[in-house]
Amino acid sequence: MTPAGVPTVFVIDDDDLVRTAIQGMLKSVGLRSETFGTPHEFLCSKRPDGPSCLVLDVRLPGVNGLDFQRELADAGIRIPVIFITGHGDIPMSVKAMKSGAVEFLTKPFRDQDLLDAIHQALDRDRVTRQQQSELGELRNRYESLTAREREVMGLVVSGMLNKQIAYDLGTSEITVKIHRGHVMHKMQADSLAELVRMAAKLEIPPGKK
């Protein structure tokens, strides 16, 4: 078992020598890694839940690394990719970077260049995971609101005053204040500005549930 939070570098390359060399280099600097000869092996593996990145050869038997990058994205597997290739060209590297690759290295590359790219990729994944965790927590808070509280929240973040919201909902201003208080408490928002930021992250259309 891999302790939660321990970063893992996945390496997919059909060349045994390349896989062994990269794994040895990573081990020498204290980085955990798993290697695979094909993308299929990678997809069939049970990957630990922690920061990770993928060192991916562009030319693999039966599959192009750039196509596999797109397959991962389509499957919802969000993992930073570092491409390595012995047959790279500028159009290929541009396409890879436009698709979100962290780096595109041509063999033979310096160990330090690969390490720099790996550290950048792992940092990117840590940030993404933190943002996803915070968004998940925010969604849980929003789900705890009643239908009316969500309605009030939508109107509040649109900039409407309590009396305007009361008129719009056909209720009293006191009732709106109570709902608004519940919204602030349940969402753990200390200010209107913070509530507006939360609504933006949740992509809640102003003035709607």
Give how far Cα 63 sits from Cα of 24, 93, 98, 112, Å: 26, 17, 19, 28
pLDDT of residue 207: 65
Min mean pLDDT across 29-33, 46-50, 204-208 is at 204-208
β-sheet bridge partners, residue 85: 106
CA 104 – CA 97 distance, rounded (Å): 7
Per-position DSSP letters for 92-115, written without gaps between them = HHHHHHHTT-SEEEESS--HHHHH
Give how far Cα 42 sits from Cα of 37, 89, 166, 169, Å: 8, 26, 56, 54
Q: How far apart are the first and last CA of the chain?
A: 43
Average pLDDT of the residues of the chain: 91
Q: Give the confidence band of 4 by pLDDT, cuts at 50, 70, 90.
A: low
**Token pair 């209107």 in the structure block, residue:** 192
pLDDT of residue 59: 87
Question: What are the tokens at 27?
Answer: 């081990």
Burial of 208 from C-beta contacts in 10 A (0-12 / 13-18 / 19+)? exposed
**What is the average per-residue pLDDT within 165-192?**
95
Question: In percent, how much of the chain has pLDDT > 90?
Answer: 74
pLDDT of residue 193: 94
The pLDDT of residue 96 is above 90? no
Question: What are the tokens at 12?
Answer: 């997919």
pLDDT of residue 209: 43
CA 163 – CA 174 distance, rounded (Å): 9
CA 85 – CA 114 distance, rounded (Å): 12
- Convert the pLDDT of each residue in 123-166 to its tens digit: 999 999 999 999 999 999 999 999 999 999 999 999 999 999 99
Strands (E), 72-179: 81-85, 103-106
pTM, two decimal places: 0.75
Nearest Cα residue to 201 out of 190, 180, 187: 187
Min mean pLDDT across 32-41, 61-70, 116-125 is at 61-70
**Token pair 């509530």 in the structure block, residue:** 195
Residues in the chain: 209
**What is the average per-residue pLDDT within 195-201?**
94
Decide which of 160 and 91 is more confident.
Answer: 160
Q: Give the confidence band of 206 by pLDDT, cuts at 50, 70, 90.
A: low
